[in-house]
Amino acid sequence: MCRILRSEACRQVRFYTDCLQVVNRNELPLPSAQKRFLEDLRLASQTADFLWGNLVVRLPRSRRQYPEHGKDVKVLGDASIPKNVADLLKLGPKFCEHPALDKTELLGLVRTAAGKARTDEVDRCIREGVDCLPQKVKKGNTVKLRSAVAVLREADLKLLLSDKERGFVVVPRERLGPTGQLPGHHFVTSASDSLETRVPGAS
């Protein structure tokens, strides 16, 4: 929502800037019009900063957000896992991260979305889409999965899902029955022997 509002604000700034330039050129010769145009832009910027400074002090403060407690991780038998692996598993099976896209791929998404618009609106969609792109692109996932997967594989551990708490259960592979289930427990076999980042929209 903030990016949509930002895009709309940028569109209005471009529109009123063009209107201001047209008015100055209609009233004054070119050299004087350009000088007057720059002075008006400076005045508009200072006025906007002043109004925003008066408004922001009256905005309500956001409540402090506390991190949610993670899922409990059960370790059965004589299995043991390092703390960093346990902390990762506490994020739960539904944890996911957005794919790491560089600026070129983000621009490609903008062009793809703009291509679905009407021909006369493609340029506008591209401009507004570029305005919505983040200034800094996140590089790579913050959660390191490869080391956790390597630890589980080296220790020959299997991941199950708790049927009630929906958290991870770590169990030695030799304790599993022929069907991959743990006898006497209501655990669901996880879809994969390893951890994977779930990308929204991926199958």
Q: Domain residues of the chain, as ranges?
A: 2-56, 67-99+142-203, 101-137
Q: What percent of the chain has pLDDT over 70?
A: 74
- The answer to whether the beta carbons of residues 190 and 173 sit under 8 Å apart is no
Q: Which of 51, 42, 5 is nearest to 20 (CA)?
A: 42
123-152, pLDDT tens digit by residue?
888 888 888 887 776 665 556 777 888 888
Helix (H/G/I), strand (E/B), else coil: 139? coil
Instruction: Report pLDDT for 203.
Output: 35
Q: What does the pLDDT average to over 105-115?
A: 87
CA 41/CA 155 separation, integer angstroms? 66
pTM, 2 dp? 0.41
160: β partners:
169, 189
